[in-house]
């Protein structure tokens, strides 16, 4: 898969940007920002993702690492969902 991602840099860049944007929105976003600050953040994020693309092309597993981070974040969200559901059921029963 590493070779396929190196030969398709646009797809690689879009994957990197999507993963980084997801991580940013789930981990670092505290509140809604004004539109100009939001645009500035995404422009800086796009520049940073270009640098990550260069590392990906140079055979570092950037996309794979970001994918693992997103999967772990999904697992945490599922765990919180299950715990909330369990607490609601315990409150109904007792």
Q: Could you tell me if residue 49 is inside a domain?
A: yes
Q: What predicted TM-score, i.e. pTM, was given to this entire model?
A: 0.83
Q: How many folded domains does the chain comprise? A: 1
Instruction: Provide mean pLDDT across the span 73-85.
Output: 95
Q: Convert the pLDDT of each residue in 30-78 to its tens digit.
A: 889 999 999 999 999 999 999 999 999 998 999 999 999 999 999 999 9
- Could you write out the three-class secondary structure of the chain? CHHHHHHCHHHHHHHHHHHHHHHHHHHHCCCCCCHHHHHHHHHHHHHHHHHHHHHHHCCCCHHHHHHHHHHHHHHHHHHHHHHHHHHHHHHHHC
Per-residue pLDDT at 5 exceeds 70: no
Q: Could you tell me if residue 31 is inside a domain?
A: yes
Q: Could you tell me if residue 9 is inside a domain?
A: yes
Q: Could you tell me if residue 13 is inside a domain?
A: yes
Return the pLDDT at 6.
63
Q: Residue 45 is part of which domain span? A: 2-69
Q: Could you tell me if residue 88 is inside a domain?
A: no
Lowest mean pLDDT of 16-25, 67-76, 84-93, name the range. Answer: 84-93
């Amino acid at each position: 898969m590493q070779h396929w991602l190196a030969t398709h840099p646009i797809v690689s860049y879009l994957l990197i940007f999507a993963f980084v944007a997801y991580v940013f929105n789930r981990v670092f976003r505290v509140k809604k920002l004004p539109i100009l600050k939001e645009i500035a953040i995404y422009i800086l994020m796009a520049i940073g993702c270009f640098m990550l693309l260069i590392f990906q092309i140079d055979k570092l597993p950037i996309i794979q690492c970001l994918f693992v981070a997103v999967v772990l974040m999904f697992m945490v969200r599922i765990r919180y969902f299950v715990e909330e559901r369990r607490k609601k059921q315990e409150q109904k029963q007792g």
